[in-house]
Amino acid sequence: MSDLKFIFHFSKHFFILLFFSLSINAEENSIFNLPEIFVTNTRTNIGLPGSSTKVYSQDYISNSTATNLAELMGNIAGIQYRDMFGGSGQIEARIDMRGFGATGKSNTLIMINGRKLNDLDMGGLSWDLIPTETIERIEVIPGNAGSVLYGDGAVGGVINIITTNALSKINNRFTTTYGSHDHFQENITLHKRFGNFGVMINGDILDNNNYRRNNKHEQYTLNSEIRYKLLKGELYLYSNLNRDYHGLPGQRTIRALEGRNEHKTDRLSAETPADWAKENNIALTLGGIHNFNDNFGMVLDGHYTVKDQDAYFVGNKNHITDTVLRHYSFTPRFTYDYQLKNIPSKNIFGIDINYADYSSDRKASVHVTQTKLRHESNQLSVGLYSQNSVSLSDNINLSGGLRFQRILFNGGTVFHEDAEGDDDGASLKNNTISQSDNRLGANMGVEYFLQPNFSIFGRTARSFRIANIDDRIGADGASMALKPQMSYDFEIGTLYENNKFSVQSSIYLMLLRNEIQFNSSNSNNLNLGRTKRYGFENSVIYNLNNKISMDTNISILRSEFLDNVNTAGPYDTTDEDIPLVANFTANSSLYFKNLFNKKINFTTTARFVGKKNKENDQNNIETAIPSYYLLDLKLGGDFLSYNWNLKANNVLGNEYHNYGVSSAFCQQGHASFCMRESYYPMPEQTFTLSISRDF
């Protein structure tokens, strides 16, 4: 498409969206007031009737037994959590909403204050940038429901983490934590408000040897927020600085045909005792809010991130990987409360402009000046969206929205034949591509209240995902020209809640075309044919009294291939399960609060995760990753002017793992490579003791 034609279509779509957003606003009076600063951190305050959106408060976070933020999210219905190494450092932690397995990170959007943490590559998310001490609440939007508000990648769902506003009341706090595997952590939060001016700073230091050898983790994080209250709005500046180092111990191995089983004989050793990775992050967000009146408000903000990653792999001739990723975004948005013939309505519309630049060098050593192989790419994404919520009556709410998104991608590989290093990249020489695409996201939802505290809801939505750079590079660089992935989903459910009891249940169906996934039959990333996901999610909260409460959820899920994706080998994947997706998960937490004159709190959490196929096992012919159950405990309270808590995780000492890989050659019909498994053992019992004081 020519640039002139693109400008014409883009302008047309913009004015259609603007008309959709504003032309129906026939009356100026509104019964809604624009909440103060509400579009700064979230786009869901207009409501998403028809969706199974859930909000988790600071109370839920502070009473959780989880050792890290990713693990905490894994206790939420419909979210599966996996990790290669375990521990509080969140090294290589992944979460997956609604069953995408290995590509869960690319199909689940993680936001902090409305800003995407997902990068152009498939590297681990920077969980370190989100200290739990600063979180106010977590919003979870399952399925395609967030596709209009957030765009590319909101397929399995959206998780938006809202941090505490610097103009709020925040206690100065210092926390020290000691634990298993030489765990040491210190965290400090400082806050000061001078009239309309507020400043919050949070610093964190972590040093942990972790469960396995060559798994040491060092992390330094500094977060700050500066906020100034204006007469009709606010100005704000977020900054995040992070430095991270961790050893990479590699896998443990099972070779059944050779009688080798390191799962039983040697769980702790490192396959790669000298490999390591380190990362430096800088993130800045500058923005402002202006409320034109009680009904119309605007947010203008821009964001810049640079992530510098280095890694050393002894087993590669190109030992050094040096990757730099820069991300720029500008996301103005507007909110409008209005009435349409006395029908209360809300609208948010805006523009998302995102540009990412990626460069990754492969070279023989740090002393080599000439890079052997360089992957370079950049991606520009421009999206226009409008989301409406309408209250037709006291018991019927509707929502609907549209998003148009334009994506421009340029990427390629530069190979230097004369440079020192591995020549395997010679086939990638001058392998470049320029690709553009236009995508549409849409949703419609309805919520009907049978009684004031009992409702039924339903929705349908369309979402999309664009291939990231690691999808395109793949195993051999032959996957550059990948099509966008498309998803259509449907969900219906019920919600009942009163002062003591809340239960939410939903069933869903998700149909996808061109799903982007690694194909073990030819060791390339491909667009698959048709895939399907369907399931049931149920969450129950029961408050027995003001001291005892319970939170329980179960999720049943089937994630399967509808077509044969094999291009080599004798197997047919039709109707087989997609790897790394458990068909059943359950979590139950019991909370005892304010015991013994409000001095003691106690939480116990039981988790069960069903079996799942290992990565690469698309034919479901290998031994599955076994199901496992865990029991975690947390005891805490106040003593003098100090707050303390003791966590015991996996107190039963179960030996388990939640990630494993089978041989791709087995999937291609080479029997001698079957029953060769790589897995990553998780820790047995771990203990942490934290002591904090407000000042």
Q: What is the distance between the alpha carbons of residues 470 and 121, in angstroms, rounded to a whole number?
A: 5
pLDDT score at 43: 65
Give per-residue pLDDT as tens, 157-192.
999 999 899 999 889 999 999 999 999 999 999 999
Instruction: Output the six-digit token pair for 77.
Output: 């219905």
Flag whether pLDDT at 620 surpasses 90.
yes
Between strands 233-247 and 217-230, the pairing is antiparallel
Flag whether pLDDT at 554 surpasses 90.
yes
Cα angle 308, 94, 165; round to 5: 70
Tell me the pLDDT band of 30, cut-offs 50, 70 and 90.
very low
Contact status, residue 514 vs residue 530, Cβ threshold 8 Å: no
Contact status, residue 582 vs residue 529, Cβ threshold 8 Å: no
In DSSP notation, 469-494 reads HHHHHTTTS---SPPPEEEEEEEEEE
Tell me the pLDDT band of 598, cut-offs 50, 70 and 90.
confident
Flag whether pLDDT at 437 surpasses 70.
yes
Tell me the pLDDT band of 41, cut-offs 50, 70 and 90.
low
Q: What is the distance between the alpha carbons of residues 172 and 191, in angstroms, rounded to a whole number?
A: 6
- CA 217, distance to chain mean position in Å, is 21
Instruction: Output the six-digit token pair for 380.
Output: 């520009």
Which of 71-75, 305-309, 411-415, 690-694 is the least confident region?
Answer: 411-415
- Within 13 A of 390's CA, how many CA atoms are on the CB side? 17
Contact status, residue 232 vs residue 290, Cβ threshold 8 Å: yes
Residue 27 carries which DSSP code? B
pLDDT score at 126: 63
pLDDT score at 474: 60
Higher pLDDT, 38 or 433: 433
Flag whether pLDDT at 25 surpasses 70.
no
Contact status, residue 86 vs residue 683, Cβ threshold 8 Å: yes
pLDDT score at 203: 95
In DSSP notation, 426-440 reads GGGTTEEEEEEEEEE
Which of 289-298, 347-356, 430-439 is the least confident region?
Answer: 430-439
In DSSP notation, 237-305 reads EEEEEEEEEEE----EEEEGGGTEEHHHH-SS--SSTT-EEEEEEEEEEEEEEEESSSSEEEEEEEEEE
Contact status, residue 448 vs residue 506, Cβ threshold 8 Å: no
Instruction: Output the six-digit token pair for 391.
Output: 């209250």
Higher pLDDT, 420 or 587: 587
Instruction: Please return the burial class of 443, using the count of CB atoms within 10 Å of its CB with bins 0-12, 13-18 and 19+.
Output: buried
pLDDT score at 124: 62
Average pLDDT over residues 473-496: 82
Residue 676 pairs in a beta bridge with: 255
> Which of 22, 11, 19 lies closest to 347 in space, CA to CA?
22
- Residue 641's SS3 state is coil
Q: What is the distance between the alpha carbons of residues 271 and 493, in angstroms, rounded to a whole number?
A: 47
Flag whether pLDDT at 348 surpasses 90.
yes
Q: What is the distance between the alpha carbons of residues 115 and 313, in angstroms, rounded to a whole number?
A: 32
> Identity (one letter) of the amino acid at 386?
S
Q: What is the distance between the alpha carbons of residues 220 and 310, in angstroms, rounded to a whole number?
A: 16
Q: Where are the alpha helices (DSSP H) in 640-683?
A: 664-667
Give per-residue pLDDT as tens, 276-291.
999 999 999 999 999 9
Q: Which residue has the tokens 């977590």?
A: 138
pLDDT score at 241: 94
Q: What Cα–Cα distance (Å) separates residue 505 from each residue in 455, 492, 497, 540, 662?
A: 11, 9, 12, 9, 35
Average pLDDT over residues 282-305: 94
Any residues with CB less than 8 A from the CB of 394 and at least 6 apart, and which?
A: 449
Average pLDDT over residues 244-273: 89
Tell me the pLDDT band of 27, cut-offs 50, 70 and 90.
very low
Instruction: Output the six-digit token pair for 506.
Output: 């939903």
Every domain of the chain and the residues it spans: 3-364+379-421+433-694
pLDDT score at 448: 96
Residue 57 pairs in a beta bridge with: 137
Flag whether pLDDT at 39 surpasses 80.
no
pLDDT score at 89: 65
Tell me the pLDDT band of 29, cut-offs 50, 70 and 90.
very low
- Within 13 A of 342's CA, how many CA atoms are on the CB side? 2
Q: What is the distance between the alpha carbons of residues 138 and 155, in angstroms, rounded to a whole number?
A: 18
- Residue 154's SS3 state is coil
What integer best gives the mean pLDDT of the chain?
Answer: 87
Flag whether pLDDT at 95 surpasses 50.
yes
Flag whether pLDDT at 14 surpasses 70.
no
Average pLDDT over residues 337-348: 89
Residue-wise burial string across 409-424, b where 16 or more C-beta atoms lie within 10 A, e elsewhere:
bebbbbbeeebebeee
Query: How many helices and strands in the chain, by DSSP H and E?
Result: 10, 36
Tell me the pLDDT band of 481, cut-offs 50, 70 and 90.
confident
pLDDT score at 565: 85
Q: What is the distance between the alpha carbons of residues 532 and 260, in angstroms, rounded to a whole number?
A: 37
Instruction: Output the six-digit token pair for 664.
Output: 């791709």
Determine the CATH number of domain 3-364+379-421+433-694: 2.40.170.20
- Residue 131's SS3 state is coil
pLDDT score at 6: 42
430 C-beta neighbours (distance < 10 Å), count: 8
Q: What is the distance between the alpha carbons of residues 288 and 233, in angstroms, rounded to a whole number?
A: 7
Average pLDDT over residues 536-565: 95
pLDDT score at 3: 44
pLDDT score at 673: 86
Flag whether pLDDT at 17 surpasses 60.
no
Q: What is the distance between the alpha carbons of residues 509 and 99, in angstroms, rounded to a whole number?
A: 12
Flag whether pLDDT at 11 surpasses 60.
no
The pLDDT > 70 percentage for the chain reads: 88
Q: What is the distance between the alpha carbons of residues 559 and 528, in angstroms, rounded to a whole number?
A: 14
Which of 225-229, 273-277, 473-477, 491-495 is the least confident region?
Answer: 473-477
Flag whether pLDDT at 20 surpasses 60.
no
Flag whether pLDDT at 605 surpasses 50.
yes
pLDDT score at 38: 37
Average pLDDT over residues 454-479: 82
